[in-house]
Chain A
């Protein structure tokens, strides 16, 4: 199994630009999670999907953030417009529900200048 695949690994953009992060979960998993990791706040859950349906987006910081899961094998996290304070590592993770074990991707390091 290839594991959870995220792209890009690194993204550098300028303030105001749109950023799209991509995730391919492990085949057969029915849930997908987006996390953000920063030194100050640690790991924060942004949103999670079950069977492609958003279940809890209470962690999405503001309307500039949106996430979609059009099918079981693909999800995107979009930031529009991006701001310097969005700089962080964004992780995608997948699992069966109920969670026994979360499988994380390698993350996207986002830098907004």
Chain B
């Protein structure tokens, strides 16, 4: 089946620290991969995506590379800000399907 596994949270960092949130997936075929972010009291928003192997998605200083050989799509940011505090969700869309499969989310707190 299709599934996404994210690192357990919560993650707490100081401002300007380096961020990595691990995500691995299991899927049949060639899925598209996504990172969504959820700020408190809001719905999820697309942060970045990659549709094929070796693609790098990037947005707002975040980036993730689609690694087919390791079935991974880890999220990174070089220097986090307090405003990055949110819950981050890794997701996949299997080829030929419109049903996104989400990981359980990782809560990030950035302290000043």
Contacts and interface: CB of A to CB of B under 8 A. Distances in A.
A48 B49 CA distance: 21
Contacts, number: 42
28 contacts: A4-B43, A42-B102, A42-B104, A43-B89, A45-B99, A45-B100, A50-B98, A55-B98, A91-B43, A91-B44, A93-B43, A93-B44, A98-B98, A99-B98, A99-B100, A100-B49, A101-B46, A101-B49, A102-B36, A102-B44, A102-B46, A102-B100, A104-B43, A104-B45, A105-B43, A106-B42, A107-B42, A107-B43
Interface of A: 4, 31, 42-43, 45, 48, 50, 55-56, 91, 93, 97-102, 104-107
B105 to A, nearest CB: 6
Nearest to B99: A45
Interface of B: 36, 41-46, 49, 89, 93, 98-100, 102-105
Contacts of A56: 99
- The residue in A31, A98, A102 that gathers the most chain B C-beta atoms within 10 A of its C-beta is A102
